[in-house]
Amino acid sequence: MKSLAPLIAGAMIMTATSTEAEQPNNERRRSTTDQVRSVAPALEQYTQTRLEDEVWNRPGLNRRDRSLVTIAALIARGVAPALAQYVDLALRNGVKPAEISETITHLAYYSGWDKAMAAVGPVSDVFSRHGITTDQLAAVHPALLSLDEKKETERAMRVGEQFNSVAPGLVQYTTDYLFRDLWLRPELAPRDRSLITVAALISTGQVEQITYHLNRAMDSGLTQEQAAEVITHLAFYAGWPNAMSALPVAKGIFEKRNGQGQTR
């Protein structure tokens, strides 16, 4: 796998000079690795041995999924400058351009429009270098996936009963824009859409929202081992406190699901 040292450096270096931008990729990698080493040599060493050699090679989650989780974490946390290197890595790990495109669109709703828009520039540069054209991206108006009307009606009723008296507009938008449109867009499989949502929630400490979305992810095929590995991976990209805060929620979900006789 490509060295992750320059990827970490990308998160630290918020802008690049035009001279650096014109350097060949291998020269940029060397310069950023040397730059990290000149400031925090232990960080450079840990990047190589702990992040690259160990975390990204753990068997519980494949590299494609790790790329999706990492991109979601970076967007959710507003770390747009690091996206270029990680999107490049994601493409080589098997993530499709349409899936990256759709991840950005999805996270506009779950992390905020500004963070999604901030991701556009770095990702556009990568797509341009790879010759990716708009016909390879998520369509504006695709044929939507089928909806479980009974389950969605029950969800909408529960939310309406709780919050229509507080913010009826938000309740209606949640139904119309999220669950009857965004979640049915086909460029991300339901499991992967839940995967990036859970990653974004953990990355920003939105603990109260994790229960619904992690259960939804597991209903769509995410295994307990994979869910645990997502949290472990995010400790390195969202920080230990956010990962540790997600553990009690995950523990409760795992215990409840296993108690109902569901397998991993």
- 221-251 pLDDT per residue, tens: 999 999 999 999 999 999 999 999 999 999 9
pLDDT in tens, 121-145: 999 999 999 999 999 999 999 999 9
Per-residue pLDDT reduced to its tens digit, 211-228: 999 999 999 999 999 999
Inform me whether the pLDDT recorded for 62 exceeds 90.
yes
In this structure, the chain runs to a length of 264
Q: According to DSSP H, which parts of 78-223 are helical?
A: 83-92, 97-111, 113-129, 149-163, 168-173, 190-203, 207-219
Which residues does 96 contact at the CB level (< 8 Å), separation at least 6? 136
Cβ-based neighbours of 259, under 8 Å, separated by 6 or more: none
Please tell me the pTM assigned to this model. Answer: 0.88
pLDDT in tens, 185-206: 999 999 999 999 999 999 999 9
Interatomic CA distance for residues 199 and 205, integer angstroms: 10
Nearest to 74 by CA among 260, 238, 186: 238
